[in-house]
Amino acid sequence: MIELFYAPTPNGKKISIMLEEIGFEYKVTQIKLNPGGEFSKGEQFKPEFRKISPFSKIPVIIDNDNNKEVVFESGAILMYLGEKSNKFYEQKDRTKINQWLMAQMGDIGPMLGQHHQFHHYNPGKSKFGEERFFNIAKRIYKDLDEHLSVADFLAGDNYSIADIATFPWIARHNWHDIGLKNYEHLSRWYQSISNRPTVKKGYDCLNTGEKIPVIEL
């Protein structure tokens, strides 16, 4: 069994979606990142958690079927699970998959994360920060839309861990105030993934009734 140390963030949802997609048995251990509104008291900073996550971040998995192997960093976890399951990480496509996975890890996720910080959580505190990351977020939408105009999925014809990694970040489109509906090809990609039953289940792995945000027309 896989133990998933999780919080309901885009990075956490990547892994719960992947585990549902590959059909592995798993147990969720929730890590409360901001108890009582105090980030400094988050469970991710506890010494016992830092033993498996040196940067105090979720997600982390422990593979109890593989000598309790610990894997941290969401991209590394997706690669590990893709190799272990032989699903959504085709050997013949790995160069393309890795490129788009790294694009998510190094650009899409961090930049949209900064957009969340300035635009969603702290509006009005920095005009420069809000404008900068809003424009970067629009550029990300445009770049993804252009790419998906000539490809069904990020790495080509097949759904892969690159799509699984990117999807939860676009699922916060209501926070972005960019208008996902204005991006035809990105919307098509988003809707096709949203419709997958395993994605719906993984998106709400805590069984709180959380739904994948719909595209507002």
Query: pLDDT (tens digit, 9 = 90+) per residue, 85-125?
Result: 999 999 999 999 999 999 999 999 999 999 998 988 888 98
| Judgement on whether residues 155 and 97 belong to the same structural domain of the protein | yes
Of 34, 54, 85, which closes a domain? 85
* Contact between 50 and 56 (Cβ < 8 Å): yes
Shared domain for 31 and 115, answered yes or no, is: no
Residue 66 shares a structural domain with residue 101: no
Q: In what order do the strands lie in the sheet with 60-63?
A: 26-30, 2-6, 60-63, 69-72
Q: Last residue of a domain, which of 47, 66, 85?
A: 85
Residue 37: per-residue pLDDT: 64
How confident is the model at residue 75, as a pLDDT?
A: 98
Q: What is the pLDDT along the chain (217 residues), one digit of tens a residue?
A: 999 999 999 999 999 999 999 999 999 999 999 876 676 788 999 999 999 999 999 999 999 999 999 999 999 999 999 999 999 999 999 999 999 999 999 999 999 999 998 988 888 989 998 999 999 999 999 999 999 999 999 999 999 999 999 999 999 999 999 999 999 999 999 999 999 999 999 999 999 999 999 998 7
Torsion of CA 125, 130, 214, 155, to 10 degrees: -140
> By C-alpha distance, which of 60, 17, 74, 29 is closest to 201?
17
Phi and psi for 139 in degrees, rounded to 5? -65, -40
For the chain, how many structural domains are there in total?
Answer: 2
Dig out the tokens for 44 from the structure: 């991710």
Residue 63 sits in a domain whose CATH number is 3.40.30.10
Are 14 and 45 in the same domain? yes
Burial class (CB in 10 A: 0-12, 13-18, 19+), 101: buried
Three-state SS letters, 97-138: HHHHHHHHHHHHHHHHHHHHHHHHHCCCCCHHHHHHHHHHHH
Average pLDDT of the chain is 95
Question: How far apart are the C-alpha atoms of 165 and 103, rounded to whole Å?
Answer: 10
d(CA 152, CA 129): 33
Residue 208 lies in a domain: no
Report CA torsion sign: 22, 28, 34, 40: negative
Predicted confidence at residue 154, as pLDDT, reads: 98
Domain that holds residue 54: 2-85
Same-domain check for residues 102 and 191: yes
Classify residue 171 as exposed, middle or buried by CB count within 10 Å of its CB (0-12, 13-18, 19+): buried
Is residue 48 in a domain? yes
Same domain, 96 and 195: yes
**Boundary residue ending a domain (57, 85, 113):** 85
Does residue 73 sit in the same domain as residue 95? Answer: no
Confidence (pTM): 0.95
pLDDT at 36: 63
